[in-house]
């Protein structure tokens, strides 16, 4: 039981920030382009109760990734709907990549302090060990969410970006997939080689590039949390 509580404590803040900032970023950029829907519905804040999807939150603790309630965007309010929607869609993955960069910076800073021998007290180790685990998990989950959401399948952000780039007739055909998009995504991830041949290698390379030699801290965090 103590181990479960420790894992939840390490995962909770990074997971909440990753999925909430992803959604809030969509709403923030949408408002900059003319759509105040998210603000009017009280979704431009970091109150977790406004954003959390029960199943999506549970998935974070089981699979290592999840989702929040989508922030509503009224594309008709955007000044140039098709073009502006590309930027709105990009905002979510961009927020995740920025969080991943901050997490990597924290990991590298702590790694430097460790290797320099500047701080060696027991208290320092007790405080920084869980912080390293949180930063390692934060780096991984934000890279994962950023890359996963760029898959060109609606309702993922990549699908909305592709719909904004394609000619209007093709975009309408793509958007017809949206009611079946979630099922299609699950099929692609769990029943094809997309994860093993494309997503997992890409995520691992990005995590390695960001973490550098501190990638071992990410691996230790994922081993502790998921035994992998």
- Please tell me which residue in 2, 23, 31, 219 is annotated as part of the active site: 23
DSSP state of 72: P
φ, ψ of residue 86 to 5 degrees: the values are -60, -45
Task: Yes or no: say if 73 and 42 are a contact pair by the CB < 8 Å rule.
Answer: no
Is 23 marked active-site? yes
d(CA 51, CA 44): 10
Residue numbers annotated as active site: 23
């Amino acid at each position: 039981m103590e181990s479960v509580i420790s894992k939840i404590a390490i995962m909770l803040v990074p997971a909440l920030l990753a999925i909430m900032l992803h959604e809030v970023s969509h709403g923030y950029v949408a408002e900059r382009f003319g759509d105040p829907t998210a603000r009017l519905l009280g979704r431009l804040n970091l109150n977790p109760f406004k954003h959390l999807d029960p199943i999506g939150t549970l998935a974070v603790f089981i699979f290592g990734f999840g989702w929040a309630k989508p922030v509503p965007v009224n594309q008709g309010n955007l000044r140039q709907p098709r073009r502006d929607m590309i930027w709105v869609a990009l905002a979510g993955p961009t927020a995740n990549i920025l969080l991943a960069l901050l997490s990597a910076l924290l990991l590298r800073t702590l790694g430097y302090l460790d290797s320099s021998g500047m701080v060696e007290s027991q208290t320092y180790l007790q405080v920084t060990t869980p912080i390293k685990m949180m930063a390692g998990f934060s780096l991984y989950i934000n890279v994962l969410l950023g890359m996963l959401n760029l898959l060109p399948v609606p309702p993922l952000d990549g699908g909305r970006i592709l719909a904004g780039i394609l000619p209007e007739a093709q975009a309408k055909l793509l958007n017809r997939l949206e009611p079946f998009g979630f099922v299609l995504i699950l099929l692609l991830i769990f029943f094809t080689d997309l994860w093993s041949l494309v997503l997992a290698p890409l995520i691992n390379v990005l995590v390695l590039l960001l973490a550098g030699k501190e990638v071992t801290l990410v691996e230790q965090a994922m081993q502790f949390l998921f035994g992998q």
